[in-house]
């Protein structure tokens, strides 16, 4: 498990940015190079996608104020001069170390708060632009905002490098830190030189000059992220083509669409269309949607984790876990349920689907897995014998949900939450059970219904998702699905042998393994792994290259005027091959 996975729960907290920067400002208590905290923050930017930059800077500034004032209080009480002054030698050593570090541009002055008198300083520009923060003042506000903007700038410049290689990201951050420190030292030296020439001027002028030097240094730091980005960041491609392809999906047959693309250039998010018919409200970029059959990959991951723990075996017969659930269940294995090679009839084909009015008439009904499986097995098998062919069947995943509950004593949704959602920090993902609403921001979904001799779109955003159950009930976001597939393909959820089994088709020529699908019709010939889902009023696709260097997730709310499938393929081709 890598550093970013371990930190996932923290990365999703709104307190993360002020916490990190507040900690980095505790340099008198925790001797810490500020670039370490800054680059860690940068890595979070790249890993989670950068939120609103202005809010980040303000939150970071709040953390700087809180951390610096806390350090001031601790320095004056426990670790401050009263402790140090008990030993003359210790006091002289600390003072000498402080003077030594003060002469090193770009280094944090870890001892300045320990000096006799308890002086509190803020290292606004990489340890060199020192401004007092023991009380609020315009100067302290400038310093805190400057430091906050500097960290946010590191997020844009060094974030992707950190996500791919923490050591490289740290090197980028340290390099920028020293460059920033050097620049501010030059500014301070210029003002010191001028001060020596004008030392006979009144002291009031000297104070004004020092204030101007500090303000100039802070402004220099504010300018650093943009300058550093221009010098250190490779040219980013025009993302207009991705937006154009997303607009094409809406034109082809959708009310609204949203997408996220992750590649070597960072994270791009976009939306098109409207969130609700009859309004101009845009689709929320972080909107939640029903993920449909992408749920199957989550269920398969939990089942394979149980295989890894020895609680299930892929060749266990279905009858051993659910006696009597399926006629002749001893011939069907868990592997066949996972890979759609069981031959079981798909229960969804027994339901009245839109535009039949009966579908919406049952929108609030709670369906049990046993009831849906019974509808399926009332029909003959799709093929014989089990394992001889591939035929997509959601019935197998309803059964897998029940098997997970038998093996663990907990509903499969609870196991998904405990094993995947919470460890990965998937804050927009849920297994709703019988809850009818989609929590949080979301676009509305619609289905066509025959009424009065015509077809009309009916809002089906709210519905009882038990009709999909373990085969497709989950709610998620583009960000969360990208994060899930990155963790899965990166080996963080399954051992290598089981991940390899997940990507192995049950029969020759199939493009589906054990809950994981692949798409190899990209225009550049690269194979991408993931899954797609159809929840009637919502459709979603989420794929990643095997090395996770490129990922794309797109979701839409269809308007049923046309088939947006080709437009989705064009978007994915642009994401993976453009």
Could you write out the DSSP letters of every residue in 37-98? HHHHHHHHHHHH----HHHHHHHHHHHHHHHHHHHHHHHHHTSSHHHHTT-HHHHHHHHHHH
**What is the pLDDT averaged over residues 81-104?**
49
- Please identify which of the residues 24, 148, 293, 542 carries the catalytic annotation: 293
Q: State which H helix or E strand residue 153 sits in.
A: helix 138-164
Which among 195, 191, 214, 86 is positioned nearest to 143, based on CA atoms?
Answer: 214
- For the chain, how long is the longest CA-to-CA vector? 102
Q: Are 461 and 444 in contact, with CB atoms under 8 Å apart?
A: yes
Query: Any idea which residue has 């990507």 for tokens?
Result: 503
Predicted local confidence at residue 521, as pLDDT: 76
Q: How many residues does the chain have?
A: 578
Higher pLDDT, 225 or 440: 440
Predicted local confidence at residue 70, as pLDDT: 52
Predicted local confidence at residue 538, as pLDDT: 98
Q: Are 415 and 302 in contact, with CB atoms under 8 Å apart?
A: yes
Cα(457)–Cα(443) distance, integer angstroms: 15
368 is catalytic: no
Half-sphere exposure of residue 54, counting CA atoms within 13 Å on the CB side? 0
SS3 label, residue 262: strand
String of b and e for 383-405 (b: at least 16 CB within 10 Å)? eeebbeebeebbbbbbbbbbbbb
Predicted local confidence at residue 425, as pLDDT: 92
Which among 197, 194, 289 is positioned nearest to 481, based on CA atoms?
Answer: 289
Q: Are 250 and 256 in contact, with CB atoms under 8 Å apart?
A: yes
Q: Are 173 and 225 in contact, with CB atoms under 8 Å apart?
A: no
Cα(551)–Cα(488) distance, integer angstroms: 13
Cα(389)–Cα(356) distance, integer angstroms: 31
Higher pLDDT, 159 or 478: 478
Least confident of 92-101, 163-172, 280-289, 330-339: 92-101
Predicted local confidence at residue 203, as pLDDT: 41
Predicted local confidence at residue 130, as pLDDT: 36
Predicted local confidence at residue 519, as pLDDT: 84
Cα(386)–Cα(6) distance, integer angstroms: 41
The burial class, CB within 10 Å (0-12 / 13-18 / 19+), for 92 is exposed
Which among 149, 102, 112, 104 is positioned nearest to 133, based on CA atoms?
Answer: 112
Q: Which of 237-241, 357-361, 504-508 has the highest mean predicted lDDT (pLDDT)? A: 504-508
Which among 389, 385, 373, 301 is positioned nearest to 341, based on CA atoms?
Answer: 389
């Amino acid at each position: 498990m890598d550093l970013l996975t371990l930190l996932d729960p923290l990365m999703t907290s709104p307190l993360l940015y002020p916490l990190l920067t507040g900690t980095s400002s505790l340099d008198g208590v925790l001797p810490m190079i500020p670039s370490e905290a800054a680059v860690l923050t940068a890595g979070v930017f790249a890993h989670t996608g950068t939120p609103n930059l202005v809010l980040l800077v303000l939150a970071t500034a709040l953390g700087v104020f809180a951390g610096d004032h806390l350090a001031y209080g601790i320095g004056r009480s426990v670790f401050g001069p009263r402790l140090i002054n008990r030993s003359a030698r210790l006091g002289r050593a600390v003072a000498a170390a402080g003077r030594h570090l003060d002469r090193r541009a770009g280094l944090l002055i870890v001892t300045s708060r320990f000096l006799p008198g308890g002086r509190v300083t803020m290292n606004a520009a990489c340890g060199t632009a020192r401004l007092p923060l023991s009380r609020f003042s315009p100067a302290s506000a400038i310093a805190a905002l400057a430091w906050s903007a500097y960290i946010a700038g590191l997020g844009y410049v060094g974030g992707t490098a950190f996500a791919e290689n923490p050591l490289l990201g740290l090197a980028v951050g340290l390099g920028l830190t020293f460059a920033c420190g050097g620049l501010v030292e030059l500014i301070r030296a210029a003002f010191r030189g001028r001060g020596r020439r004008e030392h006979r001027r009144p002291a009031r002028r000297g104070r004004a000059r020092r204030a101007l030097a500090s303000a100039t240094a802070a402004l220099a730091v504010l300018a650093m992220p943009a300058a550093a980005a221009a010098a250190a960041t490779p040219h980013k491609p025009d993302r207009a083509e991705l937006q154009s392809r997303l607009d094409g999906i809406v034109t082809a047959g959708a009310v609204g669409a949203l997408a996220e693309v992750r590649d070597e250039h960072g994270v791009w998010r976009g939306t098109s269309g409207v969130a609700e018919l009859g309004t101009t409200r845009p689709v929320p970029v972080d909107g939640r949607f029903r993920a449909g059959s992408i749920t199957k990959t989550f269920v398969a991951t939990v089942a394979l984790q149980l295989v890894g723990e020895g609680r299930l075996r892929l060749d266990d017969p279905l009858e051993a876990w659910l006696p009597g659930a399926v006629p002749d269940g001893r011939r069907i294995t868990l592997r066949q349920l996972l890979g759609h090679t069981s031959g079981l009839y798909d229960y969804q084909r027994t339901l009245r689907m839109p535009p039949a009015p009966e579908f919406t008439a049952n929108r609030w009904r709670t369906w049990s897995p046993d009831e849906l499986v019974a509808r399926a097995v009332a029909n003959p098998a799709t093929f014989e014998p089990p394992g001889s062919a591939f035929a997509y069947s959601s019935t197998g995943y309803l059964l897998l949900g029940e098997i997970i509950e038998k093996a663990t004593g907990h509903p499969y949704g609870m196991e998904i939450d405990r094993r995947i959602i919470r460890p990965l920090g998937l804050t927009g993902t849920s297994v709703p059970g019988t809850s009818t609403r989609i929590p949080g921001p979301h676009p509305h979904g619609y289905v066509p219904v025959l009424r009065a001799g015509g077809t009309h779109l009916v809002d089906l955003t709210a519905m009882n998702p038990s009709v999909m159950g373990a085969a497709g009930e989950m709610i998620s976001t583009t960000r969360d699905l990208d994060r899930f597939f990155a963790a899965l393909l990166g080996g963080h959820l399954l051992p290598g042998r089981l991940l390899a089994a997940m990507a192995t088709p049950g029969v020759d020529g199939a493009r589906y393994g054990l809950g994981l699908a692949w798409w190899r019709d990209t225009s550049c010939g690269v194979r991408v792994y993931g899954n797609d889902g159809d929840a009637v009023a919502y459709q979603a696709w989420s794929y990643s290259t095997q090395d996770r260097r490129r990922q794309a997730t797109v979701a839409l709310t269809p308007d049923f005027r046309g088939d947006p499938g080709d437009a989705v393929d064009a978007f994915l081709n642009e994401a993976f091959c453009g």
